[in-house]
Structure 1
Amino acid sequence: MLNSNSDKQKSPQRRFLFILGAALFVVVIIFGLMIMFWDKLPLDLSKTQRYTFGGLFIIYGILRFIRVIRPNTANE
């Protein structure tokens, strides 16, 4: 008689939102890396500003992904 949350199947809406969140995580991480390392990107920023701005994008992507994978028990 195991009634844990992991035994429940996700609804199609939750599955779609998880896939969308994972795809957004990948896009934001790639965009942050592009800002940091792609020199032909038309941004008038110094190297330090590029690394800072790209790093902020990467941190934002990680925080969003943590919110996606963390179970939200308030809605269940």
Structure 2
Amino acid sequence: MLEKTNRNIQKKSLKERFLLVIGVLFFVVYFVLGLFVIFMDNFPLDMKREYRIGFGILLITYAFIRLARFIKDNKD
């Protein structure tokens, strides 16, 4: 399985590798941003705690939707 993944990555063009890195990077960015919104004590925007938790969960959900779409599009 690991050899198949290695060969699959090696066959990708430079553009495809770049898009792979960008896709993973944006998943991490949205996920971490969602965690920051939920757990940051001195949040710079004046929001009620319930709205911050909801917004954070929305960001984390969006991160996983992006990841699922990214994995679906990358299957070759």
TM range (shorter): 0.7 to 0.9
Runs (5+) with no aligned partner, structure 2: none
Aligned-residue identity in percent? 38
**Structure 1 residues without counterparts, runs of 5 or longer:** 1-5
When you count helix as a share of all residues, which structure comes out higher?
Answer: 2
State the TM-score, normalizing by the size of structure 2: 0.78
- 1:24 pairs with 2:21: no
Kindly report the root-mean-square deviation, in angstroms, between the aligned alpha carbons of the 2 structures. 1.9
Q: TM-score, normalised by structure 1?
A: 0.78
Runs of 4+ in 1 over 6 A off after TM superposition: none
In the alignment, the residues of structure 2 paired with residue 36 and residue 72 of structure 1 have an alpha-carbon distance, to the nearest angstrom, of: 31
State how many pairs are aligned: 69
